[in-house]
Chains A and B, each alone.
Chain A
Amino acid sequence: MSGVIGTSVKRREDAALLIGKGKYCDDFTLPNMTHAVIVRSPYGHARINSVLTTEAAEHPGVIAVFTGRDVVNSDIGGVVPTGWLLPGIKTPEHPILATDTVRYAGDGVAVVVAEDRYIARDAAELVEVDYEPLDAVTDVLAAVADGAPQLFEEAPGNISFDWDLGDAEATAAAFDRAAHTVEVDLRNNRLIPHAVEPRGCLASFDDTSGELTLYVTTQNPHLHRLLMSLASLNLPEHKMRIIAPEVGGGFGSKIHHYPDEAIASFCSMQIGRPVKWIATRSETNLTDAHGRDHASHAEIALDAQGKILGLRVKTHAAMGAYLSTFAPAVPTYLYGTLLSGQYDIPAIHVQTLGVFTNTSPVDAYRGAGRPEATFVVERLIDMAADATGLSVVEIRRRNFVSKDDFPYQTAVALAYDSGNYDGAMDRALELSGYEALRAEQKRRREAGDTKLMGIGISSFIEACGLAPSQVVGALGAQAGLYESGKVRVHPTGSVTVYTGSSAHGQGHETTFAQVVADRLSIDVDQVEVVHGDTGEVPFGMGTYGSRSAAVGGSAISTALDKVIAKSRKIAAHMLEASEDDVVFEDNAFHVRGVPSKSQGWGDVVLAAYLAHNLPEGLEPGLEETSFYNPENFTYPFGTHICVVEIDSETGAVELQRYVAVDDVGNVINPMIVDGQVHGGLAQGIGQALWEHAVYSDDGQLLSGTLLDYAVPRAHNLPFFETDRTVTPCPHNPLGVKGVGEAGSIASPATVTNAVVDALSPYGVKHMDMPLTPEKIWRAIHRNGG
């Protein structure tokens, strides 16, 4: 139906999920299936002297036990690769099972395959590994200190890469002539993704055909196939089918190629039976790629009027024990490039060191680099307001890139295509009743209220819609970042769409159907969306980085262009009119200016398939594929405002209000967009107030269970007040920008700014997340409070 874009069509994927009929990896059972349990290192760093498997192998019900040596002695590749390279980067090998050394608690050393999971788990305890514990280092700054334990000989000082962007000299000059400078050392806390469904897979190798079918919790089945074919398995791509069934959330953690799916595949290839491996919750927490974990020194320089002259940042970014799939890109091209925020900053310089630590690898997690950048910029802006005496609103306004200055070239490589930053901030100020909030705060402070009120604001930018393939290729990506879309019109006029993006909760099946229904003026129910299966879908790059609508949706849109162009040819032929005179409108082809002459969509489609009378040289059928390569990134932005209240006696924070004004361009389905904003906010607020992956110095994950790691729950959160401004993306056919990450990008800074604001009477200028009650209590009572 035309006009269906922009309406809140109910998510068609929900009914099955809500009644328990969604089929996730663990719901698949194959004949003769076996179960794998991976034996993992309990140490953060240790030499492996020996691995004895005899007792485990003899345990009744055990089929096989394999070690890292068995992998080395096989003909598979046996390593997981990094998909993004930087100049001078050290990429030590990451074997799927360790042979000599384990480098984090959770590193795999052996795998037990048995008839059921209980047996496999029991036998895993019988594998005898003789470890010689080594000194470990888990803190990113400790890892680069003199004398720190070293993870890899080829990476001295634990440095994987030393990257920089921007003009160091111009930035130094800006600081030299500044009237005000502010600096801060800050941390961006390490997070564990916590998708509701833990990772898992089911590998089935057919030794007669040599084909591998792999069900796996992935956000990008083709990327998995590519990496497994090239590096971990060495099977030809045409002999591999990778299926992402229902995937219960990912937040980035299911982008990456982990050892585990290669181990399960290896086992299946060895024993000739299907092998299922499903992580327990603790195991997924221990081994999923974690997020963030930066230590930064950040400085800002301003002139006397509060206009920013320069920004300088040096960041140590933890990589964990090995370089995960996109790990090197996250603290560099997805971070350094965002340090201009919404501001006109003439000179910026950023240096990022990628650092190995004895922890789970760190990689993209909802927002990936952009929340870290926003945190740095928005903290500095608030601190600069304090230093210059400007209000936090005024300093932002003075430095915003103005509406008339787009396209705007930043000092850190990006060209912002469009924006209206004042517009979004104005709306957020209005919606929150900002002036009244400040008045209330003043009143309460004067009255000596023991409940400390704080107001936080954050104006954020993100770059999503990854990505122009030429650009990312030049920056080190080992893949293109276009997307595929195939539109198959059936003879009776209904449509099946195949998309290379791979939903795991986002609602593609609904929104992409809306895109098709809108263009063809057919009912949404006439459209089926297929994704997540390399056996069915053309090569595509998957879902992450808020790219699906902007890139995947655009691919479908351009495939629809081709479908309409071809059907118009057929219609013109049927109508005996010139093609140029035929227009497609309201589900029919009309001859311009001759209202009586038209052909319905259904008739034209049928004619394409009957092929009884097609224009000269035109092939029968109606099916088109497009590989859409975006021209630029997209640049969603917005301003968020929140209100907190702190119990000054305990330091407990209550988040009372959260106002989010986002500009994500055109909106296909407002309800889904709101849902994405809400989820992102919950995650970002979680980072600000509760979430923290903590390792002991010797490499134990201390926050490995949900008893210790606080994931936000509904009752911890206020009712979010959301609104939008709409500045369409100028360079993609749908005018959409992406919304999956916005909430998690803006909110850590918003909440932190509010808490620091509440504590400003106590002289607090900055505080690292998570803003736990104890930390706040200490800040208040530091001086006898």
Chain B
Amino acid sequence: MFPANFEYFRAASVEEAVALLHRHKDAKVLAGGHSLLPIMKLRLAEPAALIDIGHIHILKGISHHRNGIRIGALTTHATIARSEVLQRECSLLSDAAAHIGDPQVRNKGTIGGNIAHADPASDLPAVLLALGARIQMAGPAGDRTVAASDFFTDLLETELREDEVLTAVDVPAIAESAGASYLKFEHPASGYAICGAAAVVDMDGGSCRSASLAFNGVTAIPHHAVAVGDALAGSDISDEAIAAAIEANLRIEEPLGDIQASGEYRVELAKVYGRRALQQARDRARS
């Protein structure tokens, strides 16, 4: 496990990181290193330079913000899982973060790195889609924001340009009247999601005000099952309604498949896990 040679720079600020990225072709941002370093050790990636952003403190932490809750890109999964603010106001994210890897991975891995890497089997992308999160980025031309639903563009590819740094993720607080659930069917080897289902259900008395369902692991980019949510809005969101909404509206094209789980099977899992996540979210909203 010996990576190829690379240059190493430690950025003191976001501006410096952006400048370094701009100056060095083939450079990569280094955050927690838990996705990047393994592939470098296998020499599947051989960046010419690493720009270490680990010491830019302003990128760490969770705070309230006008659009809800802002989570700095360098915030670790462990911090997110333990955050009282998130547990109270956006438990979907803290629950999902608690499902990532093992304690070492959660202590080092960051939310920014997780979504910048855009591994289809990661846990956070679907959660951010289901929540309607927004991604903040800084580049040579200034800051910009994209919706999570536009961020993921292909397998391991995102909106992020080569000289941009992901700075924060904004998530809305989940309404008092809503419940959420993240259920994960784990790969027995990697522990990543073969199928992860994230659901948010907002209730208005006995009927469903809105529902949002998204999946990890099933397709190259996380799948937001918008039509399923739309079909449930206004319904009584009974078990039967959920099953019917999924049967009629869950359309997954080009599922991923590997030696562990075929595409056909993943689609089946999405139906089962999608249903169960919606049921659990509904029950949590009622309780």
Scoring A residues 658 to 696 as 1 if CB is less than 8 Å from chain B, else 0, what string do you get? 000000000000000000000000000000011010100
Q: How far is the CB of B260 from chain A (nearest CB, A)?
A: 7
Find chain A residues with CB under 8 A from B273 CB: 650
Q: How far is the CB of B155 from chain A (nearest CB, A)?
A: 15
Given contacts A122-B5, A711-B189, contact A703 B261 (CB under 8 A): no
A399 to B239, CA, bound (A): 51
Give the residues from 117 to 132 in chain A that come closer than 8 angstroms, CB to CB, to chain B: 117-118, 121-122
B141 contacts the other chain (Cβ, under 8 Å)? no
B265 contacts the other chain (Cβ, under 8 Å)? yes
B1 touches A650 (CB 8 A): no
Please tell me which one of the listed residues B5, B185, B190 contacts residue A707 in the complex, with CB atoms under 8 A apart.
Answer: B190
A777 contacts the other chain (Cβ, under 8 Å)? yes
Find chain A residues with CB under 8 A from B42 CB: 282, 705
Give the residues from 246 to 295 in chain A that come closer than 8 angstroms, CB to CB, to chain B: 280-282
Please tell me which one of the listed residues B4, B192, B258, B268 contacts residue A122 in the complex, with CB atoms under 8 A apart.
Answer: B4
Given contacts A117-B2, A118-B2, A650-B185, contact A708 B259 (CB under 8 A): yes
Find chain A residues with CB under 8 A from B190 CB: 706-708
A118 to B268, CA, bound (A): 46
Given contacts A282-B42, A774-B262, A777-B265, contact A649 B272 (CB under 8 A): yes
Given contacts A708-B189, A708-B190, contact A774 B2 (CB under 8 A): no
A778 to B265, CA, bound (A): 9
Give the residues from 728 to 785 in chain A that come closer than 8 angstroms, CB to CB, to chain B: 772-774, 777-778
A578 contacts the other chain (Cβ, under 8 Å)? no
B272 touches A772 (CB 8 A): no
A707 touches B188 (CB 8 A): no
A282 to B265, CA, bound (A): 28
Sample of 15 more A-B contacts, CB < 8 Å, known A118-B5, A778-B265: A117-B2, A281-B1, A650-B269, A690-B189, A703-B189, A703-B259, A708-B189, A708-B190, A708-B258, A709-B189, A710-B187, A772-B261, A773-B261, A774-B260, A777-B265
Find chain B residues with CB under 8 A from A282 CB: 42
Scoring B residues 243 to 287 as 1 if CB is less than 8 Å from chain A, else 0, what string do you get? 000000000000000111110010011001100000000000000
Give the residues from 104 to 147 in chain B that come closer than 8 angstroms, CB to CB, to chain A: none
How many A-B contacts if CB must be within 8 Å?
A: 53
A716 contacts the other chain (Cβ, under 8 Å)? yes
Q: How far is the CB of A697 from chain B (nearest CB, A)?
A: 13
Find chain B residues with CB under 8 A from A778 CB: 265
A710 touches B265 (CB 8 A): no
Q: How far is the CB of B105 from chain A (nearest CB, A)?
A: 13
- Please name the residue on chain A nearest to B272 by beta carbon: A649
B4 touches A690 (CB 8 A): no
A650 touches B189 (CB 8 A): no
The 29 listed contacts between A and B (C-beta, < 8 Å) are A118-B5, A121-B2, A122-B5, A280-B1, A281-B1, A282-B42, A649-B272, A650-B268, A650-B269, A650-B272, A650-B273, A689-B188, A692-B259, A702-B259, A706-B189, A706-B190, A707-B189, A708-B189, A708-B258, A708-B259, A709-B189, A710-B188, A710-B189, A716-B188, A772-B261, A774-B260, A774-B261, A774-B262, A774-B265
- Please name the residue on chain B nearest to A778 by beta carbon: B265
Q: How far is the CB of B248 from chain A (nearest CB, A)?
A: 19
Find chain A residues with CB under 8 A from B188 CB: 689-690, 710, 716
Find chain A residues with CB under 8 A from B268 CB: 650, 777
A281 to B38, CA, bound (A): 12
A649 to B269, CA, bound (A): 8
A475 contacts the other chain (Cβ, under 8 Å)? no
Q: How far is the CB of B61 from chain A (nearest CB, A)?
A: 31
Find chain B residues with CB under 8 A from A122 CB: 4-5
Q: How far is the CB of B60 from chain A (nearest CB, A)?
A: 28
What is the size category of the interface that chain A forms with chain B? Answer: 20 to 34
A282 to B44, CA, bound (A): 13
Q: How far is the CB of B258 from chain A (nearest CB, A)?
A: 8
Find chain A residues with CB under 8 A from B262 CB: 774
Q: How far is the CB of B278 from chain A (nearest CB, A)?
A: 15
Q: How far is the CB of B50 from chain A (nearest CB, A)?
A: 16
A529 contacts the other chain (Cβ, under 8 Å)? no
A9 contacts the other chain (Cβ, under 8 Å)? no
A652 contacts the other chain (Cβ, under 8 Å)? yes
Footprint of B on A, CB under 8 Å? 117-118, 121-122, 280-282, 649-650, 652, 689-690, 692, 694, 702-703, 705-711, 716, 772-774, 777-778
A706 to B38, CA, bound (A): 12
Find chain B residues with CB under 8 A from A281 CB: 1
A772 touches B260 (CB 8 A): yes
Find chain A residues with CB under 8 A from B265 CB: 773-774, 777-778
A708 to B269, CA, bound (A): 19
Q: How far is the CB of B156 from chain A (nearest CB, A)?
A: 14
Q: How far is the CB of B13 from chain A (nearest CB, A)?
A: 31
A384 to B7, CA, bound (A): 66
Of A117, A650, A702, chain B has the most CB atoms within 10 Å of the CB of A650
Find chain B residues with CB under 8 A from A773 CB: 185, 261, 265
- Please name the residue on chain B nearest to A716 by beta carbon: B188
Find chain B residues with CB under 8 A from A708 CB: 189-190, 258-260
- Please name the residue on chain A nearest to B194 by beta carbon: A773
Give the residues from 3 to 25 in chain B that come closer than 8 angstroms, CB to CB, to chain A: 4-5
Scoring B residues 181 to 202 as 1 if CB is less than 8 Å from chain A, else 0, what string do you get? 0000101111010000000000
Of B190, B261, B265, B273, chain A has the most CB atoms within 10 Å of the CB of B265
- Please name the residue on chain B nearest to A707 by beta carbon: B190
Q: How far is the CB of B243 from chain A (nearest CB, A)?
A: 11
A454 to B269, CA, bound (A): 22
Find chain B residues with CB under 8 A from A706 CB: 189-190
- Please name the residue on chain B nearest to A709 by beta carbon: B189
Find chain B residues with CB under 8 A from A117 CB: 2
Q: How far is the CB of A618 from chain B (nearest CB, A)?
A: 59
Find chain A residues with CB under 8 A from B1 CB: 280-281
- Please name the residue on chain B nearest to A649 by beta carbon: B272
Of B1, B189, B265, B273, chain A has the most CB atoms within 10 Å of the CB of B189
- Please name the residue on chain A nearest to B4 by beta carbon: A122
A280 to B2, CA, bound (A): 9
A430 to B152, CA, bound (A): 56
Find chain B residues with CB under 8 A from A121 CB: 2
Find chain B residues with CB under 8 A from A777 CB: 265, 268
Find chain B residues with CB under 8 A from A705 CB: 42
Find chain A residues with CB under 8 A from B185 CB: 650, 652, 773
Find chain B residues with CB under 8 A from A702 CB: 259
Find chain B residues with CB under 8 A from A690 CB: 188-189
Q: How far is the CB of A357 from chain B (nearest CB, A)?
A: 18
Find chain A residues with CB under 8 A from B5 CB: 118, 122
Q: How far is the CB of B36 from chain A (nearest CB, A)?
A: 15
A775 to B197, CA, bound (A): 22
Q: How far is the CB of A310 from chain B (nearest CB, A)?
A: 38
Pick the 9 closest A-B CB pairs, nearest first: A710-B189, A710-B188, A121-B2, A707-B190, A774-B265, A690-B188, A649-B272, A280-B1, A694-B259
A703 to B190, CA, bound (A): 11
A280 to B3, CA, bound (A): 12
Find chain B residues with CB under 8 A from A711 CB: 189
A772 to B258, CA, bound (A): 13
Q: How far is the CB of B217 from chain A (nearest CB, A)?
A: 13
A692 to B188, CA, bound (A): 11
A694 to B192, CA, bound (A): 19
Find chain B residues with CB under 8 A from A652 CB: 185
Find chain B residues with CB under 8 A from A772 CB: 260-261
Q: How far is the CB of B268 from chain A (nearest CB, A)?
A: 7
A355 to B106, CA, bound (A): 46
A59 to B269, CA, bound (A): 52
A690 to B273, CA, bound (A): 21
Q: How far is the CB of B124 from chain A (nearest CB, A)?
A: 18
Scoring B residues 34 to 52 as 1 if CB is less than 8 Å from chain A, else 0, what string do you get? 0000000010000000000
